[in-house]
Structure 1
């Protein structure tokens, strides 16, 4: 919630449209031609920088592909992608660390199903920030999904957890 001065000097409270009440991680969806060497060209653009790819998913079709990336330092990663001339979009994902145990993914999916939250897509992270597996997920209600999973004992990660 934000507080601002109104016209008469009184405090006016309001919530902004972009207010976030959960930790989220920026995902970059990079659009590439589906041809040999394009993935290498993309990953090489981060060479020599502090930006590391911490999550990766590839969706391809005959003519093009979408590379979903989570980066250790998204602000710098955005600049690198822009300078390299890649077409990309951004959105916020929920990153959930899985507890050790054979049923952790089942529990995650069951908890979201009970809350009638749809998972649009999900993929595993390349790194394990605290020594445990983690998944990135895009759901139809990320804020509620975060609250439910947190209440179930899952650790929700932020971008700061992905710096290494």
Structure 2
């Protein structure tokens, strides 16, 4: 499992810039960003090379942040590749809460971030999968 940092930001100009500036000032590398929007605020989901430090720095700047475990899988960059990994989870009654892409580690692969309802079971299934490679925190650095 890897750590995802979620920052809850008001829908105001410059709020995302402030978060990115804090990350940049502390040389924290952004690997992926996903935004879920509501009327009043956005939830920015971030995959970072140093998530614990990012949480500390963002909280110190009065941002509301949360760290969540997610799974990162590496799949071939071919048609249908994601289907096979998702199918394995579905066949084991594991529900996907959300998913998004991440910067690739290798240009011939795609990295997918998954948040599922049963993280431990999903991790075991994906560890033994022939359709993907489950990534570790050190792979995201």
TM-score (norm 1): 0.79
Query: Is 1:157 aligned to 2:135, yes or no?
Result: yes
Query: Which of 24, 36, 40 is the matching residue for 2:17?
Result: 40
Aligned residues: 139
Task: Give the whole-Å Cα distance in 2 for the aligned partners of 1:100 and 1:88.
Answer: 32
- Indicate if the aligned counterparts of 1:50 and 1:73 stay in contact, CA closer than 8 A: no
Please state whether the residue corresponding to 2:39 is helix, strand or coil: coil
Please state whether the residue corresponding to 2:99 is helix, strand or coil: strand
Task: Give the whole-Å Cα distance in 2 for the aligned partners of 1:48 and 1:61.
Answer: 28
Query: Which of 110, 117, 123 is the matching residue for 2:87?
Result: 110
Query: Is 1:95 aligned to 2:72, yes or no?
Result: yes
Alpha-carbon shift at residue 91 of structure 1 (Å) = 1.0
Moved over 4 A (4+): none
Query: Is 1:75 aligned to 2:52, yes or no?
Result: yes
Aligned residue in 1 for 2:105? 129
Query: Which of 97, 100, 107 is the matching residue for 1:120?
Result: 97
Alpha-carbon shift at residue 38 of structure 1 (Å) = 1.3
Please state whether the residue corresponding to 2:126 is helix, strand or coil: helix
Task: Give the whole-Å Cα distance in 1 for the aligned partners of 2:76 and 2:123.
Answer: 15
Please state whether the residue corresponding to 2:24 is helix, strand or coil: coil
> 1:70-105: per-residue Cα shift (whole Å, max 9, x none)?
111112212221222211111100111112421111
Aligned residue in 1 for 2:33? 56
Aligned-pair Cα RMSD in Å = 1.3
Query: Which of 121, 133, 138 is the matching residue for 2:115?
Result: 138
Point out the structure with the larger helix share.
2
